[in-house]
Chain A
Amino acid sequence: MTTQRPGNTVFRFARHDAAEAGNGVQRLPAGDLCLRVMDTPNAPNFDATAPPGTAVDLNQQLAQLLERIADGDQASFAEFYRLTSRRVFGMARRVLIDPELSEDTVQEVFLQVWQNAAKFDPGSGSPLAWLMTISHRRAVDRVRSSQSATEREARYGASSQDIDHDSVSDQVDSRLEAEAVVRCLETLTETQQESVRLAYYGGLTYREVAEKLNAAIPTIKSRIRDGLIRLKSCLGVS
């Protein structure tokens, strides 16, 4: 069953293009990673030479697939799922902990992808950001309706305190991306990191974060804002 996955041809071609470009692939020193990584996050140019395994490469594939999903192409939907379901489920599990609730959320998310693929607008963000926005919103809605804030805090505390990233990739470029994220996260203060994490994986509102950390509400709002802006700048998101 490992052969003939329908969408494979699609990105095999994309990678073939990259290989064709050969030396034309731009290689920047590691220090410029952030800038390179998000160089063209919203412009799916399928003839571009994004290194395979990177965010840009993935976003190019996903944008292409979304176009076809919008036309009802189920093979593309299957490929889109194959490429992204680990991310969506991974996030849902972090937020919801409960496997069944997480699976329900993943189902809702991909049904929404199927139905709203035509509404995806490359001008307002990358496919991955679009997908993860839908996913996080769904997960948060569900966790808030099914668990009290106290439960969420307790559960969050029991789960990992780290912001996870794909550290197992054997693709050099995607590993460098992950390292950039780690490096950029370290530029945040501990309290900024903590507040952003509690909101993202804990599903807490800024008010609940403030209560949990015993901090003033305006302070938490500032931490979240400043933390995300700092992360954005470091990662070179433009």
Chain B
Amino acid sequence: MTDTNDSRGRQLPRAFAADIPTDLAAGRAVELAEIYALDAISDAEREAIDTYVGGAPEAERASFNERVRQARETLAMSFTAEEEPPADLFARIVAQLPEQPARAQAPRREAAAEGPAAPAAVPTAEPAPAGDELSAARQRRDVRRRPAGLRNWLIGVAAAAVIALGGVGIGAYVANQNDPFNQVIEAQDARQATVDVNGGGTATVSISPSHDALVVRMKDVPPPPAGKVYQMWLIPKDGSTPVSQGLMDAEALSKPALVKGIGSAAALGITVEPAGGSATPTLPTVAAAPLNT
């Protein structure tokens, strides 16, 4: 008890009860801010605190929120264990991304509402102070680079997730050896990985460096929307423009697709494009897999 208020022999109002409801009833909500920020409470207790604070007088609510904010900053500074996640984790996350983040549907926040903290990179933010050439230049550049290409995106994928493909060669020899698909799938050096397709289903990619080819097989992937097709791309390692590898309509989805000449590719990406396909990929990808060739 050396570190509590009671140790000084005083009966302070900050002294806690055993349970949260008693603390709340006694007006100690603000004193619970640190425990709350630390997640050291049950779900029911969190709910009780949220309910109480939601209905508390403005000043009390503000004090509570401020103490929670400070505690969270303190924790983020103090507990900084680091560990390298698996190399393919980012690709798995990307494969699950919904099409658009929240703001795409919602109106942009008013820059004014963000106060002085509004980052200069936001086009709607107030103009950079006069004479701040660097900032202004950066802002212009940011606007230019906003429609960032799939190229950048997938290089990001590849950099973060060095090798997504792993595992062992596929088992039994089942089919015609002259079938180019099976030549790839059953090659000695074949490896495969399955990634989720945004919108449903999976894409299994089998890659054979010795054949300089890969096979993509879609499973349970819904047909593209009316007037659209899936388009496959190889993203070159050297950062040059993605190269279309062909289109997949509803019918083609059920068949494996063979992609050759993968030696210089950093990643495979699949996008949804207007019927007839596009010259350059339209973001976001519905599936992406870094290649380690």
* A interface list, Cβ under 8 A from B: 1-7, 9, 13, 16-17, 20, 37-38, 41-47, 55, 63-64, 67-75, 77-79, 81-82, 85-91, 93-94, 99, 103, 106-107, 110-111, 114-119, 121-126, 128-133, 136-137, 140, 163-166, 177-178, 181, 184-185, 189, 191-192, 196, 199-201, 203-207, 209, 216-219, 221-229, 231-232, 235, 237-238
Closest to B137 in A: A13
Closest to B22 in A: A218
A71 with B103, Cβ < 8 A, contacts A63-B119, A86-B84, A111-B96 known:
yes
Decide yes or no whether B193 CB sits under 8 A from chain A. Answer: no
Decide yes or no whether B101 CB sits under 8 A from chain A. Answer: yes
**Nearest 9 A/B pairs, CB to CB:** A78-B156, A118-B103, A164-B81, A199-B40, A6-B152, A89-B85, A90-B81, A222-B4, A90-B83
A107 with B93, Cβ < 8 A, contacts A224-B35, A226-B3 known:
yes
Give the CA-CA distance A196 to B45 in the complex, in Å.
18
Give the CA-CA distance A51 to B16 in the complex, in Å.
42
- Count of A-B residue pairs with CB < 8 Å: 294
A71 with B76, Cβ < 8 A, contacts A6-B152, A191-B3, A199-B38 known:
no
Contact A1 B162 (CB under 8 A): yes
Give the CA-CA distance A67 to B77 in the complex, in Å.
22
Contact B103 A117 (CB under 8 A): yes
Determine which of B1, B76, B104, B160 lies in contact with A219 in the assembled complex, contact meaning CB atoms within 8 Å.
B1
Decide yes or no whether B115 CB sits under 8 A from chain A. Answer: yes
Chain A proximity of B138: nearest CB distance (Å): 6
Give the CA-CA distance A43 to B119 in the complex, in Å.
9
Give the CA-CA distance A2 to B160 in the complex, in Å.
10
Give the CA-CA distance A68 to B139 in the complex, in Å.
12
**Chain A residues whose C-beta falls within 8 Å of the C-beta of B72 in the assembled complex:** 125, 129-130, 132-133
Within residues 75 to 104 of chain B, which ones have a CB less than 8 A from any CB in chain A? 75-86, 89-90, 92-94, 96-98, 100-104
Chain B proximity of A33: nearest CB distance (Å): 12
A64 with B160, Cβ < 8 A, contacts A20-B134, A70-B101 known:
no
Give the CA-CA distance A16 to B100 in the complex, in Å.
32
How many B residues have CB within 8 A of the partner chain?
91
Give the CA-CA distance A165 to B75 in the complex, in Å.
11
A166 with B80, Cβ < 8 A, contacts A67-B122, A221-B16, A229-B34 known:
yes
Closest to B157 in A: A78
Give the CA-CA distance A75 to B69 in the complex, in Å.
29
**Chain B residues whose C-beta falls within 8 Å of the C-beta of A224 in the assembled complex:** 34-35, 38, 40
Would you call the interface of chain A mostly helix, strand, loop, or mixed? helix
Contact A74 B74 (CB under 8 A): no
**Could you give 26 example pairs across A and B, Cβ below 8 Å?**
A1-B158, A5-B156, A9-B145, A38-B77, A44-B117, A46-B138, A63-B119, A67-B122, A74-B153, A78-B160, A85-B90, A90-B80, A90-B82, A91-B79, A103-B92, A107-B96, A115-B101, A118-B103, A129-B72, A132-B75, A192-B3, A200-B75, A200-B79, A223-B3, A224-B38, A235-B77
Contact A232 B71 (CB under 8 A): yes
Within residues 261 to 293 of chain B, which ones have a CB less than 8 A from any CB in chain A? 266, 283-284
Contact B74 A206 (CB under 8 A): no
Closest to B17 in A: A218
Give the CA-CA distance A224 to B3 in the complex, in Å.
10
Q: Apart from A115-B102, A217-B16, what are 15 other A-B pairs with CB-CB below 8 Å?
A: A1-B162, A1-B237, A5-B159, A46-B119, A72-B283, A74-B156, A74-B284, A78-B153, A89-B85, A106-B85, A110-B93, A118-B103, A124-B69, A205-B41, A225-B35
